[in-house]
Structure formats: structure tokens, C-alpha cells
Structure 1
Amino acid sequence: MQHNTSKAQMHSPQASSRLHRLSSVPTRPLPIFDPAIPRQPGSPLIGRANDLELLKQHLWEDGNASLTTLNGLPGIGKTTLAITLAYDEEVLESFADGILWAGLGPSANIPSILSHWGRLLGLSLTEQSADYTSWTRALHAAIGSRRLLIIIDDAWTLEDVLPFKIGGPHCAHLVTTRFPAIAAHFAVNGPLTLPELNKEESMRLLRHLAPTVFRHDSHKESDLVQAVGGLPLALTLMGNYLRKQASHGDTQHIQNAIQSLSNTRQRLELSEAYDANLEPEPGAPKLRSLQSVIAITDRQLSSTARAALCALSILPPKPHSFSEETALTVADCDPATLDVLIDAGLLECSMSERYTLHQTISDYARAHLEESAPYARFIAYILDYVEQHEKDYELLEGESAVILGALDAAYEHQYWAELVKGVCAFAPFLLMRGSYALAHTHLQRAYQAANILQDRDGILNTLLQIGEIAYRLGEYTLAHSTYQQGIELARSWNNRRYLCAHLTGQGWLVWKRSDYSSAESYLREGLTIAQQDNYPEYLIEQLRVLGSIIASGGDYNRSEVYLQEALSLARTQGDREKVSRLYLSIGVTYAEQGQNEKAEHFLNEGLSLARQIVHCELTIIFLLNLGTLAYEQEHYELAETHLQEGLGLAQHFHLREWIGILLINIGEMKIKQGTYTQAEDFLVRGLKVAKEIGSPRIIASAHNLYGELYLHLDQVEQASAAYQHMLTTLPEGDHEMYILGQYGLARVAAARGDITEARRLGDICLASLVMSGHRKEAEVRTWLASLSMPSNPL
């Protein structure tokens, strides 16, 4: 390699001067490869190829006398990258006269480094002055027109860097520092910030260092990578430690070693000896660890800044972020203190005024946190924030990680009252986002806390939302028992607000299970309470659900009265979620009446609103209904797009009810397209899900479509059995599905040649459809008219 040749060609200054005297022709000074440059790393530089190329581009493109700065966290690998740069063949070729190295640190020995450079450049002792200005002037003259790269590593102050900004027009400088302010000061075109390794790069580094440890357990490897946030020093320390442990060959020994690294303090204190060329300063720790590397910076902080750093450690670490208001409240400090932490390279700030704390910095600071006051401030602030912004979904989204951190802190530190209030206020947002498991965990904690406090409102509220989760996940039996428990407790405690809420939930659930008489009973009692006691938030839901139930019975005019009243109230309250739900109910009602243009308007408006507030379940339901409306109008490509997107979302969030319905509706679309094998596959899958969750209406819908499929396949007896099964499965009171079943049997009769029975059943269906104004009216009327034709359609 070229750098080895350069070293071999180095001569002492005295030897160089003798050669000069012996030659009659001036000779170019021999290249310098500073022996202070640390040894090249023994391991390949993993995950830094792009960073190395970017650094080289800066050196080439910034022109003559360029100065590039490299900034990053302690342990991010700034020095390692600078060393690699010094040994790079393209760099050695470009800077043909050599490389000088100044390793500074918190207590830089500037005279020693300048003296060392003087000897390399051939300065006599008389030219080396105690006066920095004279000294640097002499070094500058000695460099002259030479093309040198000057690396100033680990700068801690601006003043330490200035003596080394020497050299002529053909020199370039690289300054590495953990302090953003120093990097920004010297970089004309902005500093280069060295990022953490990503997950893939981090895992490659661990596998390289400990190749036999993670062969059969990538999950633990991933956990370790996440625990240190892709910090190369931490990964290197862990990898070297695990490789040594693996040398024992005992599997249990290795597993114990991996397990020990899940402990924060163990990771911080994990250490190894410094490289021989990177010896610490006198009095500094002889072993390198995360603890010691971060402590060097920590010791430079004032007690106020140190206390603020420790307080901020209770906030979620990177990649999560937090606002300045959150930081100031939790740390109980002023903005100037945050600036100190930023300047120290411990706290990062983005252009959007969001702050981040790296995982290892957070671990270090948390280990030194001794007071509980930051937790109290954090929990109180977040509780107030959530209650103020309960319907500001975009704001809640931006702070969701911080809010969840506060709820965890409230649980761990037994702030029971705050936990109950915070969870009850934030859980509806989690349900909107489809985070059902996470919401359930927090609600169970809050339910326990409410029982400890004997907080009746808290108990009833958490039960209400636990029941809703069970319902959404298709766990109808659990949802029913949870709502019933809430109803009984609310009655015994005379809590009419939550009695109204639980009656609404139970009414909607039993309607979904096709118990229509019980559903109307629950809902009418809830509606009476909501009207008498003026609970507008529950009144809207009561009116919406009643409107939907009445529509399913075919009374569309009365349904519209309920739904429009509810919509007016929801708009008045500015509740986007409730408005979106009402658009859905109104759109579906119009679709059932065959008023497709109105249906599409409300469904598209609702979908747009559901996407805007990122309501996962509502988005799925809108896609289902728009897809169904599209294939009923033979717009199959659009229908496929909507239904497949809806199915993908439903499967992602494990919403079994909607998975079942979407599969069945896709099956119906395939029947209309004539792809019967595909249709049967979707119907089989949909019916299986419907039976798992115990939904009679979805089961009946699947059997109805089986009858349709068998008629198209001329399997008349199978079709008859399917329709009969549908009607026996269907609970009493489902008017729409009953008519569809009778229409199916009418077509079976026609297929058997029994035109009289076919017409009798068809006339009954038509009369019912005309009375309700159902969209199937035109289809049945056309079919009846065709019975007198030679060839009877299905």
C-alpha cells in the first residue's frame, strides 16, 4: 500500500538536509506519514462506506485550503473514520506530501503536538517558540506549497483547534468533535454529522465480532442492537465481550452472557483496554467503556445542566423525540440549559424544534438520576396535555411515544389516579390507530389502579373500553360479559352516564349478533338517559346506532331522521370521528336504497375524513362499502383496489369481523365476474372466520352467496340447501337478509321448473322491497318479468 511506502521513505530532518546539499537540483520534500496516526483498525469498517466516500468528496470539492468538520455522539466512530481516511489510498495519492495528525481531547497538549510537527517538517529547535503565533508561522512557512491533509481529532474547544489551522493553499483540514458548536464554527458549508448504524449494519458488526453467538437467535441480537441505538462503540464492546465468552464453548455460558447485556448498568460498564495508539490521558481510566466515554463530557457540565440531563433521561430515547415545552417542564430548567446540553453533544435538536436523546446517553443519565421529582412533573404535564388535546389527533400522534412513556412511568411509580385519568383519555386514540393490544395493556393497568382507588368512574370507563376492544377483535362473548358487568355496576352505583355508555355498547354488540329485539331495548333505554341527563356524546352514538338498526329493518325514512339529527350534533361538537361514522351510516343507508350517487358522496367524504384522522377501522369499513358499491355497478377494477386494501388493513390489525365480511364480499364480486373457483375459495375462508367469531348475520350472508354460486354452476339442490341453511341461521328480525333468502329460493324454484312457486315467492319479495325502497327492487322486478320468457335467467 502507498502509505507503507511513504513510511519507508521518511527520513530525519538532518538526513534530508544532507541530501539537499549533495544535490545540485532542488528536491521535493519527502512525504510525511505522521507516526502519531493510530494504527489502522484490524476489523473492516462496517456500515461506514458511504460516510467515508462523503468525507472524501468534501475534501476534494471544498477547494484549496478546505476545512471539513466531522461531528457526532461520543462513541459514534469519528476517530475510527478519521484513521481509516488517513490510510485510504485515494487520500494518500491526493495528498502526496503526507498527513499530519493532532489528537487533542479534553486536555490537549498543544506544545507537544506542535513540537512533534516541527520535527516532522524539519524545523530547528531555535525555530520552535513558546509563542503559538510565531510557532505556527514557522510551521506554515515550512509547509509552504506542500499538499498535506491535516487531521485534528477530538477537539473540545475552539481555542485548541486554532493553532493547527496552518498550511498553504494546497492543504486540507479535517476536524472531528463531539461538540456541534465547534463543528458548525469551522465548517463553511456545514458540518458532516456521523449517524448511528442502522439495524442491518449493527447486526453485521455484531456478527463480525462474535460470529458464532447469534447463529440460532437473531431476536436477541436485534434486542441488543436496539438497546444501544446502533452506537458503534457499544456494539464493539458487546461483540468483543460475547466473542470471548463464546470461546468457552458452553451454550449456557453464552446465553447467560447475552442475558447479562440486557442490564443497562452491565452495558454501561462493559470495558476493554484502549488501543496502544489511543492511550487515555494521565489520570483517566485505563479501560474504555460507555460509562467512561460519556463521563468525560458529563464532568464538564455544571450541576444544573447535569441535573437537567438526568431528568430528560426519563423521556423516550431516540428515535423518539420530544418538544421543547416537554423538555423544559420535565427538566425544570430554562432554554439556556438545553443549549448547554446541545453544545455538549449530549442532546440533539432538529429543525422542527424537536429534541432527541440517544439511547446510551439516556441510559447513562438515568443511572445517575437520584430524585423522583422529574417523574411527577412528567406525568402531570402529559396528563394535562392529553386532556386538553383529546380530539386533536394530529397532536396526539406527534406526542404518542412521550404520552405512552408517561403512562408507563405512572404505572411503575404507582401514580394511580394519574394513570387512570391518562389511560382513559388516551385509549380512544389508540383504538383509532388500531393499537388494540397496547390499549388493552394500559386499560388493564388502569382498571387495577381504579379498583385500588375505588374509583367508580375509572372502573366503569376502563370496562367500557375493554369491552370495545373485545368487540372490535371479534371476541363477542368477552365483549358481552364486559359490557354486562359495566351495566350492572353502573345500575348499582346509580351512575347514569356510564350506564348510558354501556347500554350503547351492549346494544350495538347484540345487534351485530342479530339479537334485534334486545338491541333496540338496550339502545332505547340508553337514548332516554342521554336525552334526560343531557349527555350529547352518548346521544350522538345512540341516535347513530338506532338509525342503522332501523335502516336494516327497511324503514329508511325513520332511519334518516335519527342519522341526520346525530350528524347535526356531531358537527356542532366538531367531533371528526363521530362525523365520519355518521357519513358511513348515511352512505350505507343510501346504498341499500340504490341511491348510488348519494351513497358514493357520503362514503368518499367519510373515507377522506377517516384517513385524515388515521382511524384504521373506519378506513377499512369505508373501503369495504365503496368496493361493494363499485362491483355492484360492474366497476371491478376499482372494487378490487378498495376491497384488497381493506382486507390488507383488516388482516394487519387482526379485525376478524371485517376480515370475514371482506372475504365474503370479494367472493360475491368473483361470482359476478364469473370466476367461480376463486369465488368459492373466498367464501370458504370468509365463512370460517364468521363461524370463529360467532356472527349469525355474516354466516347467513356467506350461505346466501353459496346459494348464488351454486345457481350459477347449475347445482340446484346445493343452492336450495344453502338458502335453507341461511334462513335457519338467520335470527328473527333481519328483514333484509330474510328477503334475500326468499329471493334465492324463488330462483331455485324457477330452476326446477316450478314457475308458480317461483312467481309466488318473487311477488312476496318484491312487495317487501317496494315497501322499504330497497336497491334489489329493480333486479327482482326484472327477474319476475323474465319468468314468462323461454329462457329463465337466474
Structure 2
Amino acid sequence: MGAVGGLPLALTLVGRYLWSHFYKDQPYRLSAALSTLQSIEELLRLTQPASASHTAMPAEAPLSSLQAVINMSDQHVAKQAQDTLRALSIFPSKPNSFPEEAALAVAHTPVETLDTLADAGLLEGSGAGRYTLHQTIADYARLQRTDTLVEERMVSFFTLFLATHATDYNALERETDNILAAFQIAYERKMSEQLLRGVVTFALYLEVRGHYSIAETQLVRARQAALDAADQAGLAFTLLHLGRIAERRGVLNQAEQLYSEGLTVARQSQLRTTLVDLLANLSEVVLNLGEYGRAEQYAQEGLDLARELGDQQRMCVLLKSLAEVIDCHGQFERGDELYREGLALAREIDDREMMCLYLQNIGAKASKRGKHEQAMPYYQEGLSLARQMRHRQR
């Protein structure tokens, strides 16, 4: 215990090391293992600084001891397991965890290798199908990692993960630290295409959960990547989402400027789907700035284009935008019709985000008219949906 500083992780590794010899081999192997540990102890006595004035182990000793035991355990496993450990060090360390499928894809290894590392105490389980690495083990392995393909596989895995889990917010929450780690790699290695694809997909989740600072950092990087690559579609996407962040923060003039820049890019490049999104958001911003005429113009243009494209989700968004403008003009009955049409469409396509918005707005309209009993069911349903989505803004 003294040789390893009494550290729990070190003791675990020593125990696993001895048990592997006792359980699998003859007694003479256990004796040899004990001799190995005694040699390590002698080595530590030579390398650790002594202190004449303090009987306690020096502050540097626990770390040195832990590193020595990690090295011993690492050398005890096969090269494939060693390579896997180094690959897994690309994930953020404990308390973060990562899924088994990500570990296998990034390390390019069979599942049995994970079992080997877990048996050696170098890899910890963290719930069903998940693993975690102690920070010191991760640091040790990271220093020895030389395979640059690991980084590419990390980015590729989470880019695909985002594409297939874009609306599964619970899954995105579990993997947030891993996704951000993949973004950092993509940014540092100038993997512009993957960074753009990933950030644009992840941005909506970050907005919904209120992680505006994180979203802004990633979107600014993605915008620069789009400029460097002359990617007009990527540029329009990032301007759209940066505008949304500014709007959420209440900086409406900045939001209008970003949306307008995006609108110009989308028109020039004939990015019709993105154009619809920008028109919808720009309508809402100028409405809040009191410019009802421009707001209606943007909303109507966007709705007409969404109908032309047959895009029900965007029709749903623009119906709400137009209904809000019409209400501001005092045409309440027509506004009610647009709200009902939009809510029915949101239910039909199971767009819970838009359902929340419609329920909130319809409830608010009823309350303003003094019809509180009529408003209550809308508020209650909207609140229930918002809680399910963990939507902070709603």
C-alpha cells in the first residue's frame, strides 16, 4: 500500500494484476508477480524524493506511484489492448462516459479487447453498455497515442451519430461531452465538412437546452470553416443559427443583421429551404421590433415557398409567424384560423417543438380575452411537452 501511495485506483490495479496471475496460472507465477511488485517498490524508493523533515510521503509520490502501477498493468496486457487504451484516451475522462459502440468504432477493435482492459482495471464500466477512463489513466495513454486515424474515426462516428439522433435529445445529452470533443478535433484538424455538418445539426439541441455560449462558440468556428471552404450553404446555415442565438438573448438588432446576411446568401445561391427558415426568423424579429408590414411580407413569402416545396414542418413554422403578424393587425379571427391550422399540422407531423409554441400562443390569446378556463388545457399540455423535452425556454 505504501509503494502506491494508498491510492484506490492503484490498489485496484495491483489487485487485478495479482488476481490475474493467481486465478489463471500456477503458484510460481503469483510468486513472480509479487517479485515484480517488489521491484517496482524498490524503483519508486530510488526515484521518489525523500524528505527528512516530513514522515509523510511527498506530494509527488502518489502520482509517481500511480503512474508506475498503470504502466505495470499496461505492459501486462497484449499490444492490441494497449493500442485500444491509447485510442480510448481520445474521449474526455471520468466523470464523462462513452458508449460501447463508440469505443469499438474509434479504437477499431473487437469487444473482447474492452473486456481485457476492464479485467486489468484500466477501463471502468459506467452503466449498461458504457465505459469511462480515470483521468490519470487517460493522461498516461494519451501521451503514448500515435495513431492519427483515431481522431478521424472519432469525428466520423459522432458526425454520423448526430445525423441519426438529431431529434433524440436524451441521447444527445448523454453524448454532449464526446460530441464537443469531436468538434474540437475537427476544428483543430480543419475538417471543415464534418465540423459544419455536426455543428449545424447540434446547434438546435444546444439552443433548446439553453447552452447559448457553447452554441455560439461552435457556430462561429463553423462559419469560418464555411468561409474558408467557400461553402455558401454552410455559411447560410451558420448565419441562421447565430441569428437564432442572438434572438434568444434578446439582441434583436444583431439577430436581424445576421438573418439579413443569411438571406442574401440564400437568395444568391438559391438555397430555398434555408431561405424559408431565414424568412420565418426574420419575420419574427422585425415583428418584435414593431415593423408589422415587413414582418407580414417575410412571413407570407416564406409560407408560399414552403407550400411550393411541400415542406410541412416549415409550413407549420410560417403559419405561426403569419398568425402572430395578423394578430398584431387586429385580425383576430383570421389569426385564430392560422393557429388552428398550424397546431393541427404540428400534431400530424409530431413536431413537439412547434406544438409547444402553438399551445403556448393559443393559451395566451385565450387568457388575454379573459377565457382562462379555455386557456388552461393548452397551457397544461404545452407544459407537459416542454418538461418531456426539458425545454428550458418553454
- TM-score, normalized by length of structure 1? 0.44
1:334 matches 2:198: no
Aligned to 2:172: 396
Summarize the Cα distance change of 1:503–1:303 in structure 2 as closer, same or farther, 3 Å threshold.
same
Structure 1 residues 595, 340: CA separation in 2 closer, same or farther (over 3 Å shift)? same
Contact 2:233 2:266 in 1 (8 A): no
User: What residue in structure 2 maps to residue 293 of structure 1?
Assistant: 69
Among 381, 386, 393, the alignment partner of 1:610 is 386
Query: Residue 274 and residue 388 in structure 1: after superposition, are their counterparts in 2 closer, same or farther (change >3 A)?
Result: farther
Aligned residue runs from structure 1 range 186-335, under 5 A: 272-273=48-49, 288=64, 290-335=66-111
- Distance in 2, matches of 1:300 and 1:357, equals 18
Check 1:105–1:341 CA distance in 2 against 1; reply closer, same or farther (3 A cut): closer
Q: How does 1:600-749 map to 2 (within 5 A)?
A: 600-618=376-394
Q: Cα offset for 1:569?
A: 2.1
Q: Which structure: greater helix fraction? A: 2
2:351 is matched with which residue?
A: 575
Alpha carbons of structure 1 residues 78 and 297: separation in structure 2 relative to 1, 3 Å: closer
Q: Is the 8 A contact 2:97 2:126 kept in 1?
A: no
Distance change in 2, residues 1:599/1:553 (3 Å): farther
C-alpha distance in 2 between matches for 1:585 and 1:500: 22
1:477 aligns to 2:256 (yes or no) = no
Is it true that 1:589 corresponds to 2:365 in the alignment? yes
Shift of 1:467: 0.4
CA, structure 1 residues 368+428, in 2 after alignment: closer, same or farther (shift >3 Å)? same
| Aligned CA distance change for structure 1 residues 351 and 468 (closer, same or farther; 3 Å) | closer
State the AA in 2 paired with 1:469. I
Query: What is the deviation of 1:352?
Result: 2.2
Instruction: Identify the residue that residue 22 of structure 2 maps to in structure 1.
Output: 158
Q: Whose RCO is larger (CA < 8 A, sep 6+)?
A: 2
Q: Quick one: distance in 2 between partners of 1:375 and 1:448?
A: 21
Mapped partners of 1:365, 1:463: distance in 2: 39
Distance 1:159 1:376 in 2: 39
Say if 1:105 and 1:490 are closer, same or farther in 2 by CA, change over 3 A: closer
Given candidates 73, 82, 92, the residue that maps to 2:9 is 73
- 1:274 touches 1:288 (CA, 8 Å); kept in 2? no
183, 194, 211: which one pairs with 1:435? Answer: 211
Question: 2:79, 2:2 → 1: CA distance?
Answer: 35
- 2:285 aligned with 1:509: yes
Residue 468 of structure 1 pairs with residue 332 of structure 2: no
| 2:35 matched residue in structure 1 | none
Q: Distance in 2 between matches of 1:156 and 1:508?
A: 65
- Against the structure 1 CA distance between its residues 38 and 405, is the aligned structure 2 distance closer, same or farther, given a 3 Å change threshold? closer
Label 1:412 to 1:38 Cα distance change in 2 as closer, same or farther (>3 A): closer
SS at match of 1:542: helix
Indicate the residue corresponding to 2:41 in structure 1: none
- Alignment partner, residue 366 of structure 1: 142
Q: Give the deviation of 1:445 after TM superposition.
A: 0.7
Query: How far off is 1:291 after superposition?
Result: 3.7
- Once the two structures are TM-superposed, the CA of residue 78 in structure 1 deviates from its matched residue by 6.9
Cα pair distance change 1:448/1:302, threshold 3 Å: same
2:327 aligned with 1:551? yes
1:523 paired with 2:299, answer: yes
Superposed CA offset, 1:126-165 (max 9, x none): xxxxxxxxxxxxxxxxxxxxxxxxxxxx7663359998xx
The answer to whether the Cα contact below 8 Å between 2:158 and 2:179 also exists between their aligned partners in 1 is yes
The aligned residue for residue 661 of structure 1 is: none
- The Cα shift of 1:358 comes to 1.1
Relative to structure 1, the CA distance from residue 347 to residue 78 in structure 2 (aligned partners, 3 Å threshold; closer, same or farther) is: closer
Distance 1:158 1:604, change over 3 A: same
Separation in structure 2 between the aligned mates of residue 593 and residue 554 of structure 1, nearest angstrom: 13
Question: Is contact 1:72-1:345 (8 Å) kept?
Answer: no
Aligned length: 368
Within the candidate set 264, 270, 273, 1:494 is matched to: 270
- Aligned counterpart, 1:381: 157
Give yes or no for contact 1:391–1:575 (8 Å, CA) kept in 2.
Answer: no
Q: Secondary structure at the match of 2:48?
A: strand
Pick closer, same or farther for the CA change 1:395–1:288 going to 2, 3 Å: closer
3-state SS in 1 of match to 2:93 = coil
CA deviation after TM superposition for structure 1 residue 559, in Å: 1.2
The letter for the 2-side match of 1:158 is F
Distance 1:591 1:343, change over 3 A: same
Letter in 1 for 2:289: R
CA contact (8 A) 1:104 1:160 kept: no
1: CA distance, partners of 2:183 / 2:8 = 32
Distance 2:50 2:129 in 1: 37
- Contact 1:105 1:155 survives alignment (8 Å): yes
Query: Given residue 277 of structure 2, which amino acid in structure 1 is its aligned partner?
Result: A
Aligned-pair distance for 1:275? 9.7
**In 2, are the aligned partners of 1:416 and 1:449 still within 8 Å (CA)?**
yes
Q: Where do 1:12-51 residues align within 5 Å?
A: none
Higher Cα radius of gyration: 1
Deviations 1:557-576 (A, max 9, x none): 21121112212222222221
Confirm or deny: 8 A CA contact 1:308 1:333 kept in the other structure: yes
Alignment partners' CA distance in 2, 1:578 and 1:486: 23
Gaps (5+ residues) in structure 1? 1-36, 46-70, 80-102, 107-153, 164-270, 278-286, 619-794
Residue identity matched to 2:82:
R
Q: 1:449 to 1:105 in 2, by over 3 A?
A: closer
Cα 1:455–1:584 shift into 2, 3 Å = same
- RMSD over aligned CA atoms reads 3.0
Q: Which amino acid aligns with 1:311?
A: A
Shift of 1:536: 2.5
SS at match of 2:64: strand
Note the C-alpha offset of 1:552: 3.5
Equivalent residue letter for 1:420: L
Q: Deviation digits for residues 525-561 of structure 1, max 9, x if unmatched? A: 1111111222323211110111122234433321121
Structure 1 Cα separation of the partners of residues 15 and 132 of structure 2: 27
Distance 1:104 1:514 in 2: 70
